């Protein structure tokens, strides 16, 4: 289009209108990677997209709303080419946005993976804990950790986010069920929904203390272009920063409704500093001994200390609710 007609114009987006058939993709040529530059190169995807369509999430916009799956035989063949006999060489990271988005497929996949004695981590939604058989198969196939988006402890905020699959009344039981099957959890929470006021930070931190999550990620609500959240905030003229480099879930780029941008940033920082204080880390990880998961203490300590380093040197923040 730039050359066509000599007008020198470009479209903002180019696409062929078709989605990739996942049965046609080839494994990456990992032999080309300089392995000393990577923590791990045994990463793969078995799916594209997500069965849900949260208002703030760019996954459905990027991959389309159809949840697509690779043939299980192709996944198994790729894994067989990756793993060795040592524990380290059997560690796999699945990069799917929701590896258990199709329960029937996930169960078949996990059954197929059991013989390979993997150790793997991935991402899933909290509602998968409603199916104990699914969790048992995941654990038997080698699942040792999942990143799960709890997003909020506020029912109003979950409705705003279009997350009906998240039931706050089930959170505690879900976490206990994951732990019962030996699966560690990194829980993700978002601050800045229209129903969030300055009390949300302490309420969330108190909840985290009670439920014994193994690691926590906080994020500031971010209106990524293409999402329904972006459209809403644009219509309301509430986006105050169009610098793409600040769209990193750690900066405030819009006007919150019930607090100032400064209060949102301060509360976000306070929550991180509080949860990742040495006392907070000890409180979380000490429970691993009682749950007989001590062998994973080292990796989880590394994760917790990495989060703690994010705010190293940052001035200690105060809870905004206290002024």
In order along its 323 residues, the chain shows pLDDT tens digits of: 555 555 667 777 777 777 888 888 888 888 888 888 887 788 999 999 888 889 999 888 888 778 899 999 999 999 998 888 777 788 999 999 999 999 999 999 999 999 999 999 999 999 999 999 999 999 999 999 999 999 999 999 999 999 999 999 999 999 999 999 999 999 999 999 999 999 999 999 999 999 989 999 999 999 999 999 999 999 999 999 999 999 999 999 999 999 999 999 999 999 999 999 999 988 888 866 655 566 777 788 888 888 888 877 667 777 777 76
Tell me the β-bridge partners of 195: none
Please tell me the predicted confidence (pLDDT) of residue 218.
Answer: 96
- For 125, the token pair is 């939604």
Strand bridging mode 47-48 / 91-94 = unpaired
**Strands 43-44 vs 91-94: parallel, antiparallel or unpaired:** parallel
> For residue 140, which of 117, 162, 160, 156 has the smallest C-alpha distance?
117
Range list of β-strands (E), the chain: 43-44, 47-48, 68-69, 91-94, 119-124, 143-151, 184-191, 215-220
83 Cβ contact list (under 8 Å, min separation 6):
42, 89, 90, 92, 116, 118
Please give the structure tokens belonging to residue 287.
């429970």
In whole angstroms, give the CA distance from residue 194 to residue 160. 8
pLDDT computed for residue 3 by the predictor: 59
DSSP state of 318: -
Contact 196/181 with Cβ under 8 angstroms?
A: no
Q: Where are the alpha helices (DSSP H) in 56-199?
A: 59-63, 72-82, 103-113, 132-140, 155-160, 168-180
Residue 246, pLDDT score: 95
For each of the domains in the chain, give its residue range(s) and CATH number, in order of start: 20-322 (3.80.30.20)
Cα 232 to Cα 39: distance, rounded to the nearest angstrom: 39
Q: How far from 10 is each of 6, 16, 17, 276, CA to CA, in Å?
A: 11, 16, 18, 47
């Amino acid at each position: 289009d730039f050359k066509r007609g000599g007008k020198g114009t470009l479209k903002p987006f180019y696409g062929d209108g078709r989605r990739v058939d996942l049965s046609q993709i080839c494994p990456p040529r990992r032999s080309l990677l300089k392995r000393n530059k990577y923590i791990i190169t045994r990463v793969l995807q078995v799916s594209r997209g997500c069965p849900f369509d949260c208002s703030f999430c760019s996954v459905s916009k990027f991959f389309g709303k159809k949840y697509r799956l690779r043939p299980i035989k192709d996944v198994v063949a790729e894994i067989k080419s990756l793993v060795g006999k040592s524990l380290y060489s059997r560690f796999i990271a699945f990069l799917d946005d929701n590896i258990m988005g199709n329960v029937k497929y996930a169960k078949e996949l996990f059954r197929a993976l059991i013989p390979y004695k993997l150790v793997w981590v991935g991402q899933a939604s909290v509602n998968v804990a409603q199916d104990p058989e699914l969790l048992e198969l995941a654990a038997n196939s080698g699942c040792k950790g999942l990143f799960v988006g709890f997003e909020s402890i506020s029912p109003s905020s979950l409705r705003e986010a279009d997350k009906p699959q998240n039931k706050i009344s089930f959170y505690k039981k879900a976490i206990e069920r994951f732990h019962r099957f030996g699966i560690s959890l990194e829980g993700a929470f978002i601050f800045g929904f229209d129903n969030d006021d300055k009390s949300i930070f302490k309420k969330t931190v108190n909840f985290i203390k009670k439920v014994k999550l193994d690691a926590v990620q906080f994020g500031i609500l971010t209106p990524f272009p293409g999402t329904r959240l972006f459209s809403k905030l644009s219509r309301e003229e509430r986006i105050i920063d169009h610098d793409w480099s600040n769209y990193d879930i750690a900066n405030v780029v819009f006007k919150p409704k019930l607090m100032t941008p400064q209060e949102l940033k301060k509360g976000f920082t306070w929550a991180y500093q509080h949860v990742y204080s040495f006392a907070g880390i000890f409180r979380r990880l000490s429970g691993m001994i009682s749950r007989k998961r001590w062998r994973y203490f080292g990796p989880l300590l590394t994760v917790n200390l990495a989060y703690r380093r994010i705010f190293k040197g940052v001035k200690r923040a105060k809870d905004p609710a206290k002024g």
